[in-house]
Amino acid sequence: MTPRRPGDALSRPTPVLRFLSPVPGIVPGPARLPLAMKAIALTTYGGPDVLREVDLPTPEAGPGEVRIRVHAAAVNPTDAMLRTGAYAARTTDVPPPYVPGMDAAGVIDQLGPGADGRLAVGQRVVALVIPTGPRGAYAEHIVVPAESVVPAPAGTDHAEAATLLMNAATARLALDTLALPKGATVAVTGAAGAVGGYTVELAKADGLTVVADAAPHDRDLIRGFGADHVVDRGTDVAARIRELAPAGVPGLVDGSDQREEAVPAVADGGAFVALRGWQGPAERGVTVTPVFVASVRADTALLDTLRLQAEKGVLSLRVAKVLPASDAAEAHRLLEAGGLRGRLVLDFS
**Residue 25, phi-psi category: left (phi > 0), alpha (psi -120 to 50), beta (remainder):** left
Please report the pLDDT score of residue 23 as a whole number: 35
pLDDT in tens, 277-315: 999 999 999 999 999 999 999 999 999 999 999 999 999
pLDDT in tens, 65-74: 999 999 999 9
Q: Are the C-beta atoms of residues 115 and 66 closer than 8 Å to each other?
A: yes
Element (H, E) at 345: strand 343-347
Please report the pLDDT score of residue 117 as a whole number: 85
Q: Are the C-beta atoms of residues 206 and 175 closer than 8 Å to each other?
A: yes
pLDDT in tens, 216-266: 999 999 999 999 999 999 999 999 999 999 999 999 999 999 999 999 999
Q: Calculate what percentage of the chain has a pLDDT beyond 90.
A: 83
Please report the pLDDT score of residue 248 as a whole number: 98
Instruction: List the single range of 24-38, 138-152, 319-333 with lowest mean pLDDT.
Output: 24-38
Mean pLDDT of the chain: 90
For residue 22, the one-letter residue type is P
Please report the pLDDT score of residue 91 as a whole number: 78
Please report the pLDDT score of residue 267 as a whole number: 98
Give the mean pLDDT of 183-187: 98
Cα dihedral 195, 196, 198, 204 sign:
positive
Distance CA 221, CA 255 (A): 16
Please report the pLDDT score of residue 31 as a whole number: 47
Distances (CA, A) of 45 to 40, 198, 288: 14, 30, 30
- CA–CA–CA angle 221, 328, 157 (5° rounding): 55
* pLDDT value at 30 more than 70: no
> How would you label 282-295 residue by residue, b for 16+ Cβ within 10 Å and e otherwise?
beeebebebbebee
* pLDDT value at 28 more than 60: no
More confident residue, 24 or 81: 81
Distance CA 121, CA 118 (A): 11
For residue 161, the one-letter residue type is A
SS3 call for 290: strand
**pTM: predicted TM-score of the whole model, two decimal places:** 0.88
pLDDT bucket at 26, cuts 50 / 70 / 90? very low
Please report the pLDDT score of residue 134 as a whole number: 59
Please report the pLDDT score of residue 22 as a whole number: 36
Please report the pLDDT score of residue 33 as a whole number: 56
Q: How many CB atoms lie within 10 A of CB 73?
A: 34
Distances (CA, A) of 156 to 66, 119, 160, 311, 345: 21, 18, 6, 8, 14
Q: Are the C-beta atoms of residues 106 and 125 closer than 8 Å to each other?
A: yes
